[in-house]
Amino acid sequence: MLADFCQIEATKQKIRHFLPFKTQTAVELELNRVNDLKKLGEFVQLNIPMEPGFLKKELPGLLYLTEEQFVQLKDWFIFINNLKNRFSKTPVKSFFNKLKNYHDIVERITANIDDDNQIRDKATDELFKIRTRKRRLKNNIQETLNNLLMNRSNLFTDTNIVERGGRYVVPVKRNFKKDVPGIVHSYSNSGETVFIEPIEITDDLATLMELNETEKQEIEKILKNLTQIILSQVDEIEQDIEIIIDLDLLFAKIRYAEDLNATMPVFTDTLNIISGFHPILKRVKQNVVYLNLKINSKKRILLISGPNAGGKTVVLKTVGLIELMAKCGLFIPVGEGSTIPFYDNVYADIGDEQSIESHLSTFAAHVNQIKEALNGNESSLVLLDELMSQTSVEEGSALASAIMEEFARKKSTVLATTHNENLKIFVSKRSDMLNGGMEFTDRPTYRLILGIPQPSNALKLASKLGFGKGVIENALKYLDKDKMSLNKLFEDLSKELKAVQEERQKLSVLIEDYELRFNELNSKKRKELEELKTKYKRELIQAKRSIEKLIKDLKKQGPKPEAVREMRRFFDEKLQIDEVYSSYYPKIGEIVRIRDLKRVGQVIEEQGGKFKVSLENIYYWVDSRDIESIKANN
């Protein structure tokens, strides 16, 4: 799928063979490169002149490159130079700065070869002389032949000069063959026309053929010189081809991320997938049920149960693929807030690994896979589908329990699927393991429920798939009553959990609404405060101007009673001294009044000399001078 977004075939081949990065540092470096280019918000058309390694491998053994190859290289060198200049002053210039400058080589190729892949006449002085002589000889030959055709037209079937095998001939009527001395080159299909090279042009034509050979040698000399120039910089050219392929890969990753609406991986110790999905599932289905899964360091082992075709295996594949995509430097199909650990190894035992050639049964093949996973280290992700279901229930349960216990001891992260009731009970008793299951109502919902195992519901599915009522009723008789009760308990618990989750969702919506309203209220308060400050500032400026005017009048008129009275009146009206309150330090839980708001509330917290007061579930942080005791006022 990633290869579909590449522009260059060599990049597609590279993608089909590359492996995940080995270290988290290397992965994060690659992801940052992808993200930096993604911020550019621009798609760049890329190409290479030839397959990587071709020049380095083939050029030393070649006499020279062809004119077509030189024009192809020249066009690519121009493209490289333009690409480098285009991004030289952008935030992503580091991606293009390493590209070499091929201006001199472009000039050399352009001076020798035109855009029609032909060597220019003036490529060398010698070539110019050769071609000038050739043109003169051709003109002489054509003039001689035209005179012959015009003056003795009755001898010819046509009055046009014909070229055969690089030599000039005239079409003579068969019965006049002896009337035109020269070399016979061929006959027409009917045999009525003889193509003869007249003796009058034989010497000129021989000279022309010699010049053709000399011209060929001169062209080869020019091409060899140009080839040596390319050979002298072959390492740099090959390096730039690899840079372009690398850029093509980065842009493919960007386009793929945009196609999936994928996010940049965030590595932590917790596997927390929010709204994750399998990329292929997203392509083949319009409505995809997103995966939500959280596993922490205390419970690293998850046992997933539930009905067939309920999505258990898809969960394993989705988790494994998300991890491997991240390790390949790809953005991953998850929602914002998701985190994944960087696992050194990913082990998967999914599907039937039976091998006739290796004489392996299904059970033996699974055991080999699990044995390899058990040799992994703590930083391993292990995906086990239908754990130990290939043998008897009793022995399979015992072996599966021991296997999970060993993985728990090694602190590996394990996702396993099962239909085994004994295994569900075993996990429920372990503090380091977690049960989960795929929800089933009247049909599979493909939703993973954590905390409670899910019944397989095989009989319900069989009934829906068309099994007769009698078969289903007989099957019920053979079921273990205790296990039927256990399955019923699982179903009831699952319904209760679903109800709790729905209530929690409603509560989350209410909390979000409350926080929005609270933020709006605070914003409104801040706006009112700013307006009040602006008002006081204007009044202060006005008061200052009035005082300056009064002082000026006093200096001018002297301390007259009338002026003194006016000044006192000004101070009485304009400058009212605010009352200064002393600090009050209430106890936590005490009921107090906020002076500015003139409202009563309860103190619930103190921090840094300020108090948090609750007023009908709206909280205010106030200074000790801004609150007063209710008791004191009573």
Three-state secondary structure along 360-423? ECHHHHHHHHHHHHHCCCCCEEEEECCCCCCCCHHHHHHHHHHHHHHHHHHCCEEEEECCCHHH
pLDDT of 354 higher than 70 = no
pLDDT of 439 higher than 50 = yes
**pLDDT at site 222:** 95
pLDDT of 223 higher than 50 = yes
- Report residue 480's pLDDT band, with 50, 70 and 90 as the boundaries: low
Question: How do residues 310-325 score in pLDDT, each as one tens digit?
Answer: 888 999 999 999 999 9
**pLDDT at site 397:** 87
Question: How do residues 32-75 score in pLDDT, each as one tens digit?
Answer: 999 999 998 888 999 999 999 999 998 888 899 999 999 999 99
Spatial distance between the Cα atoms of 428 and 295, rounded to a whole number of angstroms: 15
Locate 262 and state its tokens.
Answer: 């994928």
Three-state secondary structure along 237-294? HHHHHHHHHHHHHHHHHHHHHHHHCCECCCECCCEEEEEECCHHHHHHCCCCCCEEEE
Percent of the chain with pLDDT over 70: 86
**pLDDT at site 288:** 86
**pLDDT at site 51:** 93
**pLDDT at site 632:** 56
Among 310-319, 448-457, 475-484, where is mean pLDDT lowest?
A: 475-484
**pLDDT at site 554:** 67
Spatial distance between the Cα atoms of 261 and 332, rounded to a whole number of angstroms: 9
Spatial distance between the Cα atoms of 503 and 223, rounded to a whole number of angstroms: 80
Average pLDDT over residues 348-374: 72
Contacts of 219 (CB under 8 A, 6+ apart): 119, 127
Average pLDDT over residues 520-529: 72
- Report residue 561's pLDDT band, with 50, 70 and 90 as the boundaries: low
pLDDT of 577 higher than 50 = no
Name the DSSP class of 399.
Answer: H
**pLDDT at site 572:** 61
Average pLDDT over residues 391-409: 88
Residues in the chain: 634
Average pLDDT over residues 404-425: 90
Average pLDDT over residues 527-533: 74
Strands 271-276 and 291-295: antiparallel
Average pLDDT over residues 599-613: 86
**Greater model confidence, 313 or 492:** 313
First to last CA, the chain: 77
**pLDDT at site 447:** 86
Spatial distance between the Cα atoms of 520 and 517, rounded to a whole number of angstroms: 5
- Report residue 564's pLDDT band, with 50, 70 and 90 as the boundaries: low
Among 423-432, 443-452, 508-517, where is mean pLDDT lowest?
A: 508-517
Spatial distance between the Cα atoms of 488 and 478, rounded to a whole number of angstroms: 16
Quick one: residue 276, left, alpha or beta (phi over 0 = left, psi -120 to 50 = alpha)?
A: beta
Spatial distance between the Cα atoms of 266 and 260, rounded to a whole number of angstroms: 17
Among 71-75, 308-312, 344-348, 530-534, where is mean pLDDT lowest?
A: 530-534
Which residues are 157's β-sheet partners?
Answer: none
pLDDT of 102 higher than 60 = yes
Spatial distance between the Cα atoms of 200 and 154, rounded to a whole number of angstroms: 19
**pLDDT at site 359:** 45
Which of 131-140, 382-391, 540-549, 621-630 is modeled with the greatest confidence? 131-140
Average pLDDT over residues 607-613: 85
Contacts of 605 (CB under 8 A, 6+ apart): 588, 611, 612
Q: Give the SS3 label for residue 298.
A: coil
Residue 187 backbone phi and psi in degrees, to 5: -120, 160
Q: What is the mean pLDDT of the chain?
A: 85
Average pLDDT over residues 241-270: 95
**Greater model confidence, 602 or 522:** 602
- Report residue 495's pLDDT band, with 50, 70 and 90 as the boundaries: low
pLDDT of 584 higher than 60 = yes
- Report residue 457's pLDDT band, with 50, 70 and 90 as the boundaries: low
- Report residue 506's pLDDT band, with 50, 70 and 90 as the boundaries: confident
Among 83-97, 192-206, 270-284, 456-470, where is mean pLDDT lowest?
A: 456-470
Spatial distance between the Cα atoms of 436 and 415, rounded to a whole number of angstroms: 10
Locate 161 and state its tokens.
Answer: 């000069």
Percent of the chain with pLDDT over 90: 42
Q: Which helix (H) or strand (E) holds 563?
A: helix 561-574
Per-residue burial over 13-43, b if 16 or more Cβ lie within 10 Å, else e, is: ebbeeeebbeebeebbebbebbeebbeeeee
Average pLDDT over residues 481-502: 61
| Strands of the 591-594 sheet, one edge to the other | 618-623, 610-615, 599-607, 591-594, 627-629
| Start-end of H helices in 166-233 | 202-232
**pLDDT at site 331:** 96
**Greater model confidence, 574 or 536:** 536
**pLDDT at site 139:** 92
Among 33-37, 115-119, 402-406, 418-422, where is mean pLDDT lowest?
A: 418-422
Among 270-284, 506-520, 599-613, where is mean pLDDT lowest?
A: 506-520
pTM for the model: 0.69
Among 59-73, 146-160, 213-227, where is mean pLDDT lowest?
A: 146-160
Spatial distance between the Cα atoms of 397 and 389, rounded to a whole number of angstroms: 8
**pLDDT at site 346:** 94
Q: What is the CA radius of gyration of the chain?
A: 45
Contacts of 478 (CB under 8 A, 6+ apart): none
pLDDT of 510 higher than 90 = no
